[in-house]
Amino acid sequence: MASFSGITTRQRYLELPDTFYSHVHPTPLRGDVRLVHFNAGLARDMGLPMESPEEWADIGAGRALLEGMIPVAMKYTGHQFGMYNPDLGDGRGLLLWETEGPDGRVRDWHLKGAGQTPYSRFGDGRAVLRSSVREYLCGEAMHYLGIASTRSLFLVSSTEPVRRETIETAAALVRVADTHIRFGHFEYASHHLGPDAVKTLTDHTIHHHFPDLEALPESERYPAFLAEVVRRTARTIADWQGVGFCHGVMNSDNMSIIGDTFDYGPYAFLDDFDARYICNHTDQGGRYAYNRQPEIGFINCQLLAHALTSLIDEDQLRRCMREYETTYNDSFINLMRRKLGLARADDNDLGLVMDTYSMLHEHGIDYTRFFRGLSTLPSQGPAPVRDLFADRGVADEWLRRYHNRLASEDCSPEDREADMCRTNPKYILRNYLAQNVIEASQAGDDQPLAELLKVLKRPYDEQPEFEEYAALPPDWGKHMDISCSS
Ligand code: AMP
Ligand code: MG
């Protein structure tokens, strides 16, 4: 890979004290390895050589490193389902290096499924093909929906057997982000290393990832940092609620410090709307149910705030935390207004949104198709919306109220349709679509994955050749049981 030498690489995470990581070499995958997918679009943005993507397979398989890669497992801790776990860290992933793209954007690379590390606990250090395909798909889906997310650069699969509920096969993916630093890093520093380490980590994070804050005096810089993380988190979660995304495992070690959607496990996009939907079947109490996500985001920000108490006084902490509610509420109502095609704010809009959710919940209406159907009312008429309801009268009554509300808007129906179609996706990553491509890739056919990724790149556009991807899910594909095992 000679042409790779044109890229600037570094590993800024190593500027942190070595208590924050362990040097670990990838454990090569055994068996035959194949490149399942290479993210050409992302690679282009990152300025990577594209001539022979197959050459990346050896890196994915942990069989080769490029000059300059210094693989480390990051140490962090976190709250899992509300319980503090001091033993977390990269148990199967390694930070390889950072590369700078032609646009100056620096991204770090994380090889997930690279083998055991000092933080593996009882795990085998591997990731299975099923969960790796799911992570790959969802990072792309979120990105093209316009929601902050980590992304995957490439994915390899091997014939090495891995034991989960059944015997599966190992895979590994390279995930990239502006940073892989999590809330859990700060919890680790605070609970185990002390105030100096918290300051070092916070300074490092601000310097590299929130550079605009660096010029502020210290007394303002740290509160500004926390407030910004809180706002980003609130915005990302408002985006999840708007598109009907359930994360599934919102533990504080899965919360990105820059507000990315992070660590895709048993996630789901809602099909039939169910406010209390629990996508992770091991989450029996529903801690991470769809309608609890905004509150859990707040709780996670409180955990972060708690980890920063040595840098920020109590009054300021409280002020920072208040940003959550304001930002979430503003982001959510603005997004819902856009989803409903309302350019003008009306005090009764929140009531309309809540009543709409109640109706969708009570009648189990497909969330995505409902909003897409509203978007195309001017050109398609009410049928796509009405036909989602067993009781058409419910739809008609709601549509009357909606039309009354639209009467106070000045936008032309055509312009409104165009705007709404840019806000309400036609194509989302339904779990059954992911399941179909997983089964194909498990059988050695990666074409369906490539095709689905192509569809997910244009979620807001009509793609007549891919109409079937926008269909209602088949009965077997609704409310699939997705376990945490990965
Ligand atoms: P997750 O639920 O995927 O966010 O993982 C929680 C913790 O378990 C993290 O510290 C992971 O690195 C670790 N972990 C998950 N799966 C494995 C595995 N197969 N081997 C080693 N560590 C793992
Ligand atoms: Mg995790």
Mean pLDDT of 191-202: 98
Measured CA to CA, the distance from residue 21 to residue 16 in angstroms comes to 9
Residue 155, in any domain of the structure: yes
Task: Give the atom of ligand 1 at the shortest distance from the alpha carbon of 254.
Answer: 4
Q: Is 266 in the pocket of ligand 1 (CB under 6 A)?
A: no
Residue 299, in any domain of the structure: no
Mean pLDDT of 271-275: 96
- CA angle in degrees (0–180, nearest 5) for 249-254-260: 110
Measured CA to CA, the distance from residue 270 to residue 312 in angstroms comes to 39
User: How far does the centroid of ligand 2 lie from the alpha carbon of residue 451, in Å?
Assistant: 28
Number of domains in the chain: 2
Question: What is residue 165's DSSP assignment?
Answer: S
Task: Give the atom of ligand 1 at the shortest distance from the alpha carbon of 76.
Answer: 10
Mean pLDDT of 432-441: 97
Check the CA dihedral 223-224-229-234 and report its sign: positive
Kindly report which listed range (122-126, 222-226, 462-466, 480-484) carries the lowest average pLDDT score: 480-484
Residue 307, in any domain of the structure: no
Nearest CA to ligand 1 atom 17: 123
Burial class (CB in 10 A: 0-12, 13-18, 19+), 145: buried
Mean pLDDT of 69-85: 97
Is residue 174 within 8 A of residue 113, CB to CB? The reply is no
User: What's the confidence (pLDDT) of residue 3?
Assistant: 42
Mean pLDDT of 224-253: 98
User: What's the confidence (pLDDT) of residue 1?
Assistant: 43
Q: Is 88 in the pocket of ligand 1 (CB under 6 A)?
A: yes
Over the stretch 328-358, which tens digit does the pLDDT of each residue have? 999 999 999 999 999 999 999 999 999 999 9
User: What's the confidence (pLDDT) of residue 440?
Assistant: 98
The single residue of 178, 203, 239, 253 carrying the catalytic annotation is: 253
Measured CA to CA, the distance from residue 74 to residue 395 in angstroms comes to 52
In this prediction, residue 4 has a pLDDT band, given cuts at 50, 70 and 90, of low
Q: Does residue 410 have a pLDDT over 50?
A: yes
Residue 197, in any domain of the structure: no
User: What's the confidence (pLDDT) of residue 2?
Assistant: 35
Nearest CA to ligand 1 atom 11: 91
Residue 400 marked in a binding site: no
Residue 432, in any domain of the structure: no
Q: Is 265 in the pocket of ligand 1 (CB under 6 A)?
A: yes
Task: Give the atom of ligand 1 at the shortest distance from the alpha carbon of 265.
Answer: 3
The residue ranges of DSSP E strands in 382-428, in sequence order, are none
Domain boundary among 370, 402, 421: 421
Domain boundary among 177, 196, 213: 177
- Percentage of the chain beyond pLDDT 70 is 99
Residue 354, in any domain of the structure: yes
Over the stretch 90-130, which tens digit does the pLDDT of each residue have? 999 999 999 999 999 999 999 999 999 999 999 999 999 99
Which ligand minimizes its atom distance to the CA of 486?
A: 1
Q: Taking Cα atoms as reference points, which of 297, 363, 367 lies closest to residue 339?
A: 367
- CA angle in degrees (0–180, nearest 5) for 395-392-473: 85
Mean pLDDT of 64-73: 95
Give the residue, 193 or 483, on which the prediction is more confident.
193
Core vs surface per residue 270-297: b (16+ CB within 10 A) or e? bbbbbeebbbbeebeeebbbbebbbebb
pTM of the model: 0.97
3-class DSSP state for residue 411? coil
Instruction: Copy the structure tokens of residue 61.
Output: 């398989």
347 classed as catalytic: no
Residue 265 marked in a binding site: no
Is residue 170 within 8 A of residue 113, CB to CB? The reply is yes
- CA angle in degrees (0–180, nearest 5) for 85-318-286: 45
Over the stretch 128-140, which tens digit does the pLDDT of each residue have? 999 999 999 999 9
Nearest CA to ligand 1 atom 16: 123
Q: Does residue 55 have a pLDDT over 90?
A: no
Residue 84, in any domain of the structure: yes
User: What's the confidence (pLDDT) of residue 481?
Assistant: 75
Q: Is 123 in the pocket of ligand 1 (CB under 6 A)?
A: yes
Task: Give the atom of ligand 1 at the shortest distance from the alpha carbon of 486.
Answer: 16
User: How far does the centroid of ligand 1 lie from the alpha carbon of residue 60, in Å?
Assistant: 18
Contacts of 291 (CB under 8 A, 6+ apart): 275, 276
Domain ranges, residue 76:
2-177
* Average pLDDT of the chain to the nearest whole number: 96
- Percentage of the chain beyond pLDDT 90 is 94
Is residue 164 within 8 A of residue 485, CB to CB? The reply is yes
Tell me whether strands 127-128 and 245-246 are parallel, antiparallel or unpaired.
unpaired
Residue 245, in any domain of the structure: no
Domain boundary among 393, 421, 449: 421
User: How far does the centroid of ligand 2 lie from the alpha carbon of residue 263, in Å?
Assistant: 5
